[in-house]
Structure 1
Amino acid sequence: MEAPKQEVLTAPELPPMVLMLPSPGMGHLIPMIEFAKRIPLHQNLHITFVLPNAGPPSKAQTTVLQSLPNSISHTFLPPVTFTDLPPNTKTETLISLTVLLSLPSLRQTIHSLSVSHTITTLLVDHFGTDAFDVAGEFNLPKYIFYPSTAMSLSLFLYLPRLDQEVHCEYRELTEPVKIPGCIPVHGKDLLNPVQDRKNDAYRTVLRNAKRHSEADGIIENSFLELEPGPIKELQKGKPVLYPVGPLVNREVEVAQAGPNCSECLKWLDDQPDKSVLFVSFGSRGTLSSNQTIELALGLEKSEQRFLWVVRSPYDKVVNASYFTAESDSDPFDFLPNGFLERTKGRGFVTSSWAPQPQVLAHGSTGGFLTHCGWNSVLESIVNGMPLVVWPLYAEQRMNAVILTEGVKVGLRPNVGESGLIERQEIASVVKCLMEGEEGKKLRCKMKDLKEAAAKTLGENGTSTNTISKLALKWSNSNKSNVTN
């Protein structure tokens, strides 16, 4: 009689997981989420967002994270506290410090998650490179998700060399800075935090920039037709570049957004085709009191239809709400007397927020006055929307250079002798975009970019295939460490 076969015991293979660690700020979280949502479409990978914070999670964070599919989970690390920091510490430093002080909690989280999953990769953004130290302890491949342009990524990689070669402030240079593969850019248009080399923001950016070369790969939220020069140049060297853009969120839960949201969309429904200029400076951008008045009077003087998301002004910095609570003041109180009455019917003004994806996709919207945040730029491109560019902070001036001098899909108003963009200039540029010959040319060029974006995100598009290859790579990582 044949002896019964012995059952061969095998170690269970834990399902693979990718950890994604965005630094604080919805502008960092949203594009990383859009990337994460596409990963499980290609491989059976679970994704966990690990979120450092300097306080309790914001309502915006929790709302967007709770709406994600089951294949994407999240965990908030214990909030960190800042001690002995000067009161004028820059935002970039606070962001990077939040990650640095969260590393002990990150280490514990990886230990905990490793019980149920094989963690194959740690993905951080450009302010999270301190987490590379923890990735090294666990022998994890480390990747950077760069949420902005390939041009500003090129600056990050070039900055350590530039820091050694240039001895004055970059804005004092008489010749444009020649970043490899990029159109020349004046020093005054480089990233905000590198404009003062003596402050903490510059040291923070430089420290993170130096660590970019340690990454196993950099995932870039752009695409070849939009930035051919920098992407081709970056692909020649290391780290390996993975262009996956344009990644944007095209869905908003209008029913949960409040009455103003529905009202502005209803108002758009009643406007002529391509007739409305959408005016928004993102979730964090603020203007001064005087600039708010000039913008209002410029929109009025242009005689064009407009939908304006107005915020309470702030006279000190242009990203006032990044680490602070929203102002309790009514933004309408800062508008010129009689402005709302004089523009009634032709203009719609809403406070603080509007469903940007729906507004840009609406048939009545014909242009976008934007602060040039990269999320907003990419949303404009996928909707074929020509631009008036009004950069405020971060890398937005570099973005404006790409849009006006590179792909040439935007107009940039000039700053007057007063230090403000004055009403007459605003009116002139808005009118040119909405009904002038130059505006028509910009619209045609943006239409070409829209088609290229749709193609690269299509079934066999370059970005789609790149994401598929990354997903396969990450799902197979560390399998050699599992006993079969």
Structure 2
Amino acid sequence: METSSIAALVMDFFCADALDVAHQLGIPAYIFFPTGANNLAVFLRIPELASTWDLTKEDVGKTPITVNGVPLIHASDLPREVLEISEDHELFINVFRRMREANGILTNTFESLEPRAVKSIKDGFSFPTGQAPPIYCIGPLVTAPDKGVTHPCLRWLDAQPKKSVVYISFGSSGKFSIDKLREIALGIEKSGHKFLWVVRNPPSDDPKDPYDPLAEPDLDALLPEGFLDRTKEQGIVVKSWAPQVEILNHESIGGFVSHCGWSSILEAVINGVPIICWPLFAEQRMNRVFLVKEMRIGVELKGCDEGLVSRDELAEKVRWLMESEGGEELRNNVNAHRINGLEALREGGSSETAFQEFIENFKIQNA
């Protein structure tokens, strides 16, 4: 066996085949899993579960996924590639299987946010042999707000009442056709609540809407006629990009319509902002289930899986989140998670302790 001066190798989970190199060199190898423990528990079980599925059947998406410590999901909640007969399917299954060979798995969560899933993994329920590599919950790994950031939308937020604004953003890859953008606009307007909405150009591969994704959106062309004038006292529309961390940290933000990407979820949690869930792709549909049923900090939008969220549905859920006792309960829940997340990162906290345990583990491996 060759030797190396490298003490440990930490790799993204999609690079799991690099475990072969680490083993050849005698280097302890760890997987960094950038999302949460519920996702991790499910993905570690997928190789065995998927082997029983008939991917040629149209109703394979209805297959229930039962994993100890995780709320019930269905195959349709998984990343699309897992349900396709393709090279991507084989890639995903191989990655999920090989992750088990690591010396440990670091995940971007904190134990009190997903306690049942963490316990399930540690107890070996996600592993065929019942023998799990160590899991280290070292999150929430989020960027701290930069008080030096200046942006017109932040000045606008400064003038709004506390917890009065709904922030609407779908991540760097979340894009909608013109028809859907207009439906969102009319739903926001109908809600009557203040809003800050980040709008991007429609997909460039849509022949009906051949927009340059790098160009600045023409809001007058994309949004309903008269919308910007009618809502100039109600909200603000930002083109293409906004400083999300600083926005979610602002005291005027009371809710977040989100695609449910894990980074956005943690940014909302650490700032105490409840979520209206509008997943688009990847593991985001799984995250929606966990936000609504396990963490109890999100509410579901009907029709998003079919791409048919109506203006009435969006308006209703915004009003529910901002006005109802149920919405206030979500706000209380996410604030409790916020406190726990900050505590986890402090010296002696669960995430700080887990990171120290990770360091000690690879020291032992090298002894």
Query: TM-score, structure 1 length as denominator?
Result: 0.69
Deviation of 1:167 after TM superposition, in Å, equals 2.5
Aligned equivalents of 2:80, 2:288: Cα separation in 1: 13
Post-superposition CA distance 1:270-318 (Å, at most 9, x none): 000100001111122212222111111100111100011111112769x
Deviation of 1:455 after TM superposition, in Å, equals 2.0
What one-letter code is carried by the residue in structure 2 that aligns with 1:271?
Answer: Q
Q: 1:244 aligns with which of 110, 123, 138?
A: 138
What one-letter code is carried by the residue in structure 2 that aligns with 1:279?
Answer: I
Q: 2:86 aligns with which of 192, 199, 203?
A: 199
Listed as ranges, the matches of 1:142-221 within 5 Å are 142-168=29-55, 172=60, 174=62, 176-196=64-84, 198-221=85-108
CA 1:416 to 1:155, structure 2 compared with 1: closer, same or farther past 3 Å?
Answer: closer
CA 1:335 to 1:401, structure 2 compared with 1: closer, same or farther past 3 Å?
Answer: same
Aligned equivalents of 2:110, 2:345: Cα separation in 1: 10
**Partner residue in 2 for 1:135:** 22
User: What 5-or-longer segments of structure 2 have no aligned partner?
Assistant: 125-131, 207-211
Aligned equivalents of 2:232, 2:309: Cα separation in 1: 24
**Partner residue in 1 for 2:284:** 396
1:374 is the counterpart of 2:262: yes
Q: 1:351 aligns with which of 235, 239, 250?
A: 239
Percent of residue pairs identical: 39
What one-letter code is carried by the residue in structure 1 that aligns with 2:175?
Answer: T
CA 1:296 to 1:463, structure 2 compared with 1: closer, same or farther past 3 Å?
Answer: same
Check the 8 A contact 2:187/2:314 in 1, yes or no: yes
Listed as ranges, the matches of 1:95-114 within 5 Å are none
Post-superposition CA distance 1:7-64 (Å, at most 9, x none): xxxxxxxxxxxxxxxxxxxxxxxxxxxxxxxxxxxxxxxxxxxxxxxxxxxxxxxxxx
Aligned equivalents of 2:106, 2:335: Cα separation in 1: 26
**Partner residue in 1 for 2:120:** 233
Between 1:455-464 and 1:357-366, the stretch displaced more is: 455-464
1:338 is the counterpart of 2:232: no
Deviation of 1:201 after TM superposition, in Å, equals 2.2
CA 1:253 to 1:120, structure 2 compared with 1: closer, same or farther past 3 Å?
Answer: farther
Between 1:178-187 and 1:326-335, the stretch displaced more is: 326-335
Matched position secondary structure for 2:65: coil
Aligned equivalents of 1:189, 1:428: Cα separation in 2: 24
Listed as ranges, the matches of 1:315-334 within 5 Å are 326-328=213-215, 330-332=217-219, 333-334=221-222
What one-letter code is carried by the residue in structure 2 that aligns with 1:413?
Answer: L
Deviation of 1:331 after TM superposition, in Å, equals 4.8
Deviation of 1:134 after TM superposition, in Å, equals 2.1
**Partner residue in 2 for 1:406:** 294
Deviation of 1:329 after TM superposition, in Å, equals 5.1
Aligned equivalents of 1:352, 1:330: Cα separation in 2: 7
Check the 8 A contact 2:47/2:97 in 1, yes or no: yes
Listed as ranges, the matches of 1:401-480 within 5 Å are 401-415=289-303, 419-474=307-362, 478=366
What one-letter code is carried by the residue in structure 2 that aligns with 1:224?
Answer: E
Check the 8 A contact 1:383/1:450 in 2, yes or no: yes
Matched position secondary structure for 1:165: coil
Aligned equivalents of 1:129, 1:175: Cα separation in 2: 27
**Which protein has the larger Cα radius of gyration, Structure 1 or Structure 2?**
1
**Partner residue in 2 for 1:35:** none
Post-superposition CA distance 1:170-211 (Å, at most 9, x none): 953655210232111022112232132x12322211121121
Deviation of 1:330 after TM superposition, in Å, equals 1.8
Q: 2:195 aligns with which of 306, 317, 321?
A: 306
Aligned equivalents of 2:88, 2:183: Cα separation in 1: 30
**Partner residue in 2 for 1:269:** 158
Deviation of 1:438 after TM superposition, in Å, equals 1.4
Aligned equivalents of 1:146, 1:418: Cα separation in 2: 29
Check the 8 A contact 2:190/2:315 in 1, yes or no: yes
Post-superposition CA distance 1:138-169 (Å, at most 9, x none): 22111000011212111221111012222345
Matched position secondary structure for 1:299: helix
Matched position secondary structure for 2:151: helix
CA 1:201 to 1:253, structure 2 compared with 1: closer, same or farther past 3 Å?
Answer: farther
Deviation of 1:418 after TM superposition, in Å, equals 7.8
Matched position secondary structure for 1:353: coil
Matched position secondary structure for 1:223: coil
Matched position secondary structure for 2:14: coil
Matched position secondary structure for 1:145: strand
User: What 5-or-longer segments of structure 1 have no aligned partner?
Assistant: 1-110, 256-260, 318-324
Aligned equivalents of 1:471, 1:315: Cα separation in 2: 45
**Partner residue in 1 for 2:8:** 121
Matched position secondary structure for 1:448: helix
Deviation of 1:252 after TM superposition, in Å, equals 4.0
CA 1:122 to 1:401, structure 2 compared with 1: closer, same or farther past 3 Å?
Answer: same
Deviation of 1:409 after TM superposition, in Å, equals 1.1
Post-superposition CA distance 1:111-159 (Å, at most 9, x none): 9xx7xxx311111112111222222232211100001121211122111
| Residues matched between the structures, number | 352
Query: TM-score, structure 2 length as denominator?
Result: 0.89
Check the 8 A contact 1:289/1:313 in 2, yes or no: yes
Aligned equivalents of 1:397, 1:240: Cα separation in 2: 27
Listed as ranges, the matches of 1:71-110 within 5 Å are none
Matched position secondary structure for 1:372: coil
CA 1:289 to 1:263, structure 2 compared with 1: closer, same or farther past 3 Å?
Answer: same
Check the 8 A contact 2:53/2:60 in 1, yes or no: no
